Structure formats: C-alpha cells, structure tokens
C-alpha cells in the first residue's frame, strides 16, 4: 500500500463508488452534528459536544476530500495536512473545554446523553460500513476512514460515560471521556500528518 513503492498503486479515491459513499456519509455527519450539539447543550454534556464537533469536522473534511479527488497528489497531500492540523486544533479545544467543565460544570443529564450516544453510534456505524471498502489509500482517503472510526469509538465512549454519570451521580466520567476523545483526535492527526509527509517526500523534486 506504500506510496513510496513505484510498483504499488495507492488508491487515491478516483472511483464513482467512493464519491457516492462520501456524499452519503457527508449527509449523515451534517445531520448528526445538529442533533448532537443541540442535545449536548440541553444535557450539559461536554462529551456530547465534543462528539458533535467531531461530526462537524468530518462533514467539512469529507467535503474537502471529495473536492480534491482527481487533483494532483500535492493537492491531496495538502488537503490531508489541513485535516490533520484541524484535528489537532479540535483536540486542543476539546481538552480545554473539558478542563473548564471540570471546574465549573454541573452534572450532565445521563439519560439524554445515553440516548443520543446510541443514535450517533448507529449513524457512525453506518458510515463505517459504507467506507470500510476504502479504508486503505493515500493520506486523503486514509483520513476519511480514521475520522469515521474515531466517531464510532467516540460514541461508544459517550454511551459508557452516560452510564457512569448515572451510576456515580457526578460529572467526572463525562470529563474523562472528553479528555480521552481529545487524545484520540491528536493521535489520528499525527497519523494523517505522518502519512502526508511520506507522500510529500515521494513526489519528485521534494
């Protein structure tokens, strides 16, 4: 799969099936951003808001991924870099908000958290199944898969957090999950940036 091997073709997203899959997943993510951000505000859940921001980021970055398909490799690599840096920024934002909530937060509504987390998990599992055929590819394609995988993991974590909030009667599980999601964003960002750097070095003249 390596883009550094001249004998191996790395999938760059240039297929009608991948484009259609991206359009469907973009619609799912845009809808769930609105639903989850509203629910996170009502439930006073930082974990739900963090996951909603992930839906928004995915909507925008999937759109960017769709736009650069068929463009020169340098365009696709730079798009992947932009998505990597966006994930880094989101990780820092979620971490900062989680720390703020640790000091000033009220206990979130566990029941609403759990219900929305299950809805979001269903949406993200649908996206994962739609995209699983194209989980390997260049940095642009790979970033799409990592974002979808992160969403599914995040929703499982939010659901567990909701159960822990209900059991403990405190907001700490919500804060801990938000911090964990921040770390996941940063880890995925570093993977995307590393792959983009590898592709950049493989381009003649770099």
pLDDT digits (tens, 9 = 90+) for 178-204: 788 788 778 878 888 887 888 777 765
Q: What is the pTM of this model?
A: 0.65
Return the exposure string of 68-90: e unless at least 16 CB atoms fall within 10 Å of the residue's CB, then b.
bbeeebeebbbbbbbbbebbbeb
User: Residue for token digits 């999950």?
Assistant: 177
Closest residue by Cα to residue 44 from 111, 135, 96: 111
Domain extents in the chain: 16-201
pLDDT of residue 2: 33
Using CA atoms, how far apart are residues 178 and 60, in angstroms rounded to an integer? 21
Q: The domain 16-201: what is its CATH number?
A: 1.20.1510
The residue ranking higher by pLDDT, 47 or 121, is 121
Residues 150-160 pLDDT 10s: 778 777 877 77
Decide if pLDDT at 125 tops 70.
Answer: yes
* 30 — pLDDT class (breaks 50, 70, 90): very high
Nearest to 7 by CA among 205, 206, 202: 202
pLDDT in tens, 36-77: 888 888 877 776 777 787 788 788 888 888 888 888 878 878
- Using CA atoms, how far apart are residues 137 and 13, in angstroms rounded to an integer? 8
Three-state DSSP class for 191?
helix
Distance, in Å, from the CA atom of 96 to the CA atom of 183, rounded to the nearest integer, reads 12
How many angstroms separate the CA atoms of 157 and 117, rounded? 9
Q: Band the pLDDT of 26: cuts 50, 70, 90.
A: very high
Both tokens assigned to 71: 């463009």
Token pair listed for 37: 């951000």
Tokens representing residue 176 in the block = 């801990």
Q: Which helix (H) or strand (E) holds 85?
A: helix 73-104
């Amino acid at each position: 799969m390596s883009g550094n091997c001249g004998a191996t073709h790395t999938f760059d997203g240039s297929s009608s099936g991948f484009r259609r899959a991206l359009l469907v997943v973009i619609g799912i993510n845009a809808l769930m951003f609105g639903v989850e951000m509203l629910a996170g505000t009502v439930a006073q859940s930082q974990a739900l808001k963090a996951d909603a921001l992930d839906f928004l980021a995915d909507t925008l970055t999937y759109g960017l991924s769709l736009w650069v398909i068929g463009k020169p490799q340098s365009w696709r690599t730079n798009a992947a870099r932009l998505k990597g840096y966006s994930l880094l920024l989101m990780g820092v934002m979620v971490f900062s908000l989680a720390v703020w909530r640790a000091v000033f937060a009220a206990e979130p509504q566990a029941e609403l958290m759990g219900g929305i987390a299950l809805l979001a998990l269903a949406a993200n599992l649908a996206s994962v199944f739609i995209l699983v055929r194209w989980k390997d590819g260049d940095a642009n394609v790979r970033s799409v898969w990592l974002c979808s995988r992160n969403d599914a993991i995040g929703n499982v974590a939010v659901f567990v957090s909701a159960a822990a909030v209900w059991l403990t009667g405190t907001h700490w599980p919500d804060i801990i999950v938000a911090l964990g999601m921040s770390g996941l964003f940063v880890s995925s960002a570093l993977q995307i940036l590393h792959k983009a750097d590898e592709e950049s070095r493989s381009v003649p003249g770099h």
